Amino acid sequence: MKLVIYNLLILILIPVFIFRILFKSFSDSDYRKYFNNRFGYGLRSLEHKKRKIIWFHAVSLGEVIGSQLLINKLAEHFDIVITTSTPTGFRRAKEIFPEDIVINYAPWDFILFINRFLGFYKPDAILIFETEIWPSMISCAYSNSIPLYLVNGRLSHRSYKAYALLSWLLKDSLKKITYSFVQTSNHKERFLKLGIKESCIQEVGSVKFDISSINVNPVKNPPFILGASTHPGEEKKLLNAYLRLISKINLKLFICPRHIERADDIAKQATLMGLKTKLFSNKELNDFDVCIIDNVGFLPNFYASSLISFVGGSLVPRGGHNLIEPAALGSPIIIGPHTFNFEDIVRKFVNDDACIIVNSEDELFDAIELLAQNSNIANQYASRAKKVVEKNKGSTEVQASYIINQLGE
């Protein structure tokens, strides 16, 4: 009965979902592409290699990037169908995975759409990455005897409180998950409180610590500060700090907004502040102070080249973004105080004095000035951050090996 009520709610909300997609398509037309995937139609056929099939769901850009090594490891043994929910995730998946890995937009979590998807691919297992708990998907998998695994699971305190309000529905769903791999003891405790069986959950760390194995092409530019995955309100703070800094030190500023459709607006903002500004896609303009990165997929290259990296979503209450990537690639890291989406990972860096936390624009300026003027201090922060990554590696191998052993080949 609970699942029936849930599906009725989803059915009622489908017009809202459609309107939301159409609204978002004004800023990113790719939201309209493959729209019928959302209903379980228009799916790309899988060229069968007579291997078992895994449906791997990674909701957006961060999850697609974070799951890359795990998917590549599994692809050595299985055929993979990846679903994502956002155009940025979809585009990045197309860029980093080979042609024989199928990529679709995920169907909305309505039982008919999910069963249509399952009927098309007939997967031998479903893997959901991090925090994607969808009752219809889980129930359909259980009804069809398809094992479903939560991999690299995480549940922030804020997310836990939201899910707890739906515990009447989620408790039954969570009990149907075959096995769960979670990143930390705090995440494990929260999942247990929501209803996952203790015999079906294991703390294994984060696969994102294994990212140092990914090759990058460092960007050839004069020394620069990087503002990575920034959100509205953070760019102005960065630009103000940069204006104060360039009277003392000759550096460039590169800003990579979390949503690249904002690139033009940020460029205008910087220009109005008197800064010579260019978009990264404009290859002809070389005389600039500030460069706004308006392409997806280049961030690791900039991390590997930056003098300093500010990781955004943290000076405004968005929960922060992954700081393992800049750490693994040798960039000294500055973050704001709002890191609830990565609380346990951030704690590892803070405990080892491997990043600088700032609470205001003035503190951001002070931190940038300190690292820019003292290369020894900057190198020490970068070295300590790399050590945090190194000592937490190995989760990919643990999770992939378990799945491979459970499914066979």
- Give the model confidence (pLDDT) of 323-382 as tens digits: 999 999 999 999 999 999 888 899 999 999 999 999 999 999 999 999 999 999 999 999
- Domain extents for the chain? 25-206+393-407, 224-391
Is residue 182 within 8 A of residue 96, CB to CB? The reply is: no
Is residue 360 within 8 A of residue 238, CB to CB? The reply is: no
Architecture of domain 25-206+393-407: 3-Layer(aba) Sandwich (3.40)
Is residue 327 within 8 A of residue 352, CB to CB? The reply is: no
pLDDT at 285 over 80: no
Mean local confidence (pLDDT), 38-63: 90
Q: How far apart are CA 276 and CA 270, in angstroms?
A: 8
Mean local confidence (pLDDT), 227-241: 97
pLDDT, tens digit (0-9, with 9 covering 90-100), for 71-80:
999 999 999 9
Q: How far apart are CA 144 and CA 53, in angstroms?
A: 14
pLDDT, tens digit (0-9, with 9 covering 90-100), for 146-182:
999 999 999 988 889 888 888 888 888 899 999 999 9
Highest mean pLDDT among 92-101, 299-308, 349-358: 349-358
224-391: CATH superfamily: Glycogen Phosphorylase B; (3.40.50.2000)
For residue 225, the cross-strand partners are: 253, 308
pLDDT at 284 over 80: no
**Which residues, other chains included, contact 296 with Cβ-Cβ below 8 Å and sequence gap of 6+?**
61, 88, 91, 92, 95, 260
DSSP character at residue 178 = S
Q: How far apart are CA 207 and CA 369, in angstroms?
A: 33
* Topology agreement, domain 25-206+393-407 and domain 224-391: yes
Q: How far apart are CA 156 and CA 104, in angstroms?
A: 27
Would you mind telling me the total number of residues written for the chain in this entry? 409
